[in-house]
């Protein structure tokens, strides 16, 4: 039996966003012109969530029973681009998840037996409520929504993905971070028996995988915790059972298979930063004006694409989410703090 210092169910109901308040808040944001993400492409502005159909991959619901029940109540979110989503076959077979191998198809090939239920997430650090929680306790107080976000990889390829999940800020507030909480540190499962590349002598990075956000970034309305994709439970290769989505940053910031969330005083050292700080900075904001040392970031290869039908698009600053996030970096030298 899992022993907890505090249980998610013990958190006062006043700290949990009710479904009524959740929808009222988005109605207000919509009226203010903030309910949808401002991108270089038209968005679902002016529409109600009920006017946009949910994406589906047309397979039976997967995942534990409690998640299947929640997926049946899934609603589309106004925080979505109107761009068509990348087909599921690409979303689920073209992945970076080095714990299962460095090839793009390795995660799908090598994660079939990855066990994600039961799953425990530890909440630690500078917060009033800490402890170890079953994933069901983490997720159940929240209403699931579908957000169609653009995903831009630092390798200069991109997708448009219909993620299923809930606001990161809504979760973090439940644990009452104190005034010392300046950053949020995230950690991926370390289990070499299940994640074979973690045991390799030739591993490209050190494990466990660690990522982090400033507290104001983590509390931004676009930061998202995802438990599914295309209307279903998260595939193993995409970061099951729960992962972070930070759409204005390069994809390596959106850490997968999270087992720990920690509020910290000091900025955490993140995995790719420790591996090669010259090429991978802490902030990792999408920026066409700041090239990677080995390639330009001005354009991206949007999947699906092929050698005979290449699909290149111009990269937008903050991946097109500047109206929602640019204020977080006002006055910063984005060339230095990349």
Label residue 50 by pLDDT band (50, 70, 90).
low
Give me the mean pLDDT over the 314-332 stretch.
98
pLDDT of residue 307: 82
Instruction: Write down the pTM of the prediction.
Output: 0.86
pLDDT of residue 28: 33
Q: Which of 266, 282, 269, 270 is nearest to 180 (CA)?
A: 266
pLDDT at 40 over 80: no
Tokens of 187: 């950690």
Label residue 22 by pLDDT band (50, 70, 90).
very low
Q: What is the CATH number of domain 40-329?
A: 3.90.420.10
- pLDDT digit string, tens, across residues 253-267: 999 999 999 999 999
pLDDT of residue 51: 72
Cross-strand bridge partners of residue 299: 314
pLDDT of residue 261: 98
The residue extents of the domains of the chain are: 40-329
**C-alpha distances in angstroms, 217 versus 166, 224, 245, 326?**
16, 11, 12, 11
Q: Which residue has the tokens 């309910």?
A: 35
**286 near 248, Cβ under 8 Å?**
yes
Tokens of 165: 């999940």
How far apart CA 204 and CA 217 sit, in angstroms, is 28
pLDDT at 44 over 80: no
Mean pLDDT score of the chain, rounded to an integer?
Answer: 88
Give me the mean pLDDT over the 33-41 stretch.
38
pLDDT of residue 308: 85
Task: Provide CB contacts within 8 A for 32, sequence distance 6+.
Answer: none
What does the buried/exposed string (b/e) look like for 51-70 if buried means 16 or more CB atoms within 10 Å of the residue's CB?
A: ebebbeeeeeeebbeebeeb
φ/ψ of 168, rounded to 5, equals: -60, -40
pLDDT of residue 18: 38
Element of type H or E holding 108: helix 106-110
Cross-strand bridge partners of residue 308: none
> Mean pLDDT lowest for which of 95-99, 187-191, 309-313?
309-313
Q: Which of 203, 225, 238, 201 is nearest to 111 (CA)?
A: 238
More confident residue, 41 or 155: 155
pLDDT of residue 24: 39
Give me the mean pLDDT over the 328-332 stretch.
97
- pLDDT digit string, tens, across residues 209-265: 999 999 999 999 999 999 999 999 999 999 999 999 999 999 999 999 999 999 999
Burial of 330 by CB count in 10 Å (0-12 exposed, 13-18 middle, 19+ buried)?
exposed
Q: What percentage of the chain carries pLDDT values higher than 90?
A: 80
How far apart CA 166 and CA 168 sit, in angstroms, is 6
Tokens of 213: 């956000």
How far apart CA 133 and CA 70 sit, in angstroms, is 18
Q: List, in sequence order, every beta strand (DSSP E) within 53-199.
A: 75-76, 120-125, 131-134, 145-152, 157-167, 183-188
């Amino acid at each position: 039996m899992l022993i907890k210092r505090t249980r998610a169910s013990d958190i006062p109901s006043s700290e949990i966003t009710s479904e009524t308040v959740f929808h009222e808040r988005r109605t207000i944001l919509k009226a203010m012109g903030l309910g949808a993400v401002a991108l270089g492409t038209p968005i679902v502005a002016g529409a109600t969530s009920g006017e946009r159909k949910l994406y589906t991959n047309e397979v039976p619901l997967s995942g534990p029973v409690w998640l299947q029940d929640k997926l049946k109540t899934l609603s589309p979110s106004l925080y979505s681009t109107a761009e068509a989503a990348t087909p599921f076959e690409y979303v689920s077979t073209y992945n970076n998840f080095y714990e299962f191998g460095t090839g793009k198809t390795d995660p799908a090939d090598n994660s079939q037996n990855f066990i994600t239920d039961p799953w425990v997430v530890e909440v630690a650090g500078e917060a009033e409520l800490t402890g170890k929680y079953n994933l069901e306790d983490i997720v159940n107080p929240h209403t699931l929504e579908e957000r169609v976000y653009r995903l831009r990889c630092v390798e200069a390829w991109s997708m448009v993905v219909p993620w299923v999940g809930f606001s990161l800020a809504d979760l973090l507030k439940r644990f009452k971070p104190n005034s010392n909480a300046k950053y949020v540190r995230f950690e991926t499962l370390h289990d070499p028996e299940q994640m074979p590349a973690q045991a390799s002598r030739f591993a490209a990075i050190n494990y466990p995988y660690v990522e982090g956000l400033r507290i104001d970034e983590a509390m931004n309305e676009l930061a998202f915790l995802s438990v599914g994709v295309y209307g279903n439970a998260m595939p193993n290769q995409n970061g099951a059972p729960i992962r972070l989505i930070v759409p204005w940053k390069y994809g390596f910031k959106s850490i997968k298979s999270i087992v720990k969330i920690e509020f910290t005083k000091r900025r955490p050292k993140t995995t790719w930063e420790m591996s090669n700080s010259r090429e991978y900075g802490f902030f990792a904001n999408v920026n066409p004006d700041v090239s990677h040392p080995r390639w330009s970031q001005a354009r991206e290869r949007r999947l699906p694409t092929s050698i005979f039908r290449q699909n290149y698009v111009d990269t937008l600053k903050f991946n097109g989410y500047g109206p929602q996030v640019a204020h977080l970096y006002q006055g910063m030298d984005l060339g230095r703090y990349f």
